[in-house]
């Protein structure tokens, strides 16, 4: 196979352009404030904006250490929020079943572009994946714990 010089130069130029990032900006990370606004609206707690943080906090949906509106959402924060929406639903602080609350959080994440984060909450489906509850060692199934993934 013979590579024409023009094609090689164009390919190298494109690679260099991508490498140094000319004209290609990575998407800005989604902030906790944006997620709070979207989640609060979907749960029917607020109309959006900063008021959603207070509304979510009032029903016990809050990352450990509190909401930091300008900080990015991480896998750990999203996992904690997932557990919070499940607990809020179970305790009747929000008018949804636990699975529906998880679905609403997942929809907010998808709309904000957070679908690539890893979230593991046993017993609930998140973004189409179901994580069955783990069996404690020595209980049922011959003492073998179910895999978490």
Is the separation of the CB atoms in 88 and 94 below 8 Å?
yes
Q: Residue 144 — very low, low, confident or very high, per pLDDT cuts 50/70/90?
A: very low
pLDDT at position 117: 52
- Residue 72 forms beta bridges with which residues? 31
60: Cβ contacts below 8 Å, ≥ 6 apart: 84, 87, 88, 91, 93
- In terms of C-beta density within 10 A (0-12 exposed, 13-18 middle, 19 or more buried), how is residue 81 classed? buried
Measured in residues, the chain has a length of 149
Domain range annotation of the chain: 32-130
For 129, the enclosing helix (H) or strand (E) is strand 129-130
pTM above 0.85, yes or no: no
Residue 41 Cα to chain centre, angstroms: 16
Interval 86-125: pLDDT, tens: 999 999 999 999 989 988 998 888 888 876 555 555 555 5
């Amino acid at each position: 196979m013979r590579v024409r010089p023009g094609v090689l130069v164009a390919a190298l130029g494109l690679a260099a352009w991508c490498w140094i990032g000319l004209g290609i900006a990575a998407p800005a990370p989604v902030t906790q404030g944006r997620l709070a606004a979207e989640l609060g609206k979907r749960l029917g707690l607020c109309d959006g904006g900063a008021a959603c943080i207070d509304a979510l906090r009032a029903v016990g949906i809050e990352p450990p250490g509190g909401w930091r509106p300008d900080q990015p959402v991480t896998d750990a924060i999203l996992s904690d929020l997932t557990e919070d929406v499940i607990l809020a639903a179970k305790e009747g602080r929000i008018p949804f079943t636990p699975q529906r609350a998880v679905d609403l959080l997942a929809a907010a994440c998808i709309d904000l572009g957070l679908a690539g984060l890893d979230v593991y909450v046993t017993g609930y489906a998140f973004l189409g994946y179901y994580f069955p509850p783990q069996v404690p060692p020595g209980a049922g199934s011959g003492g073998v714990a179910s895999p978490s993934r």
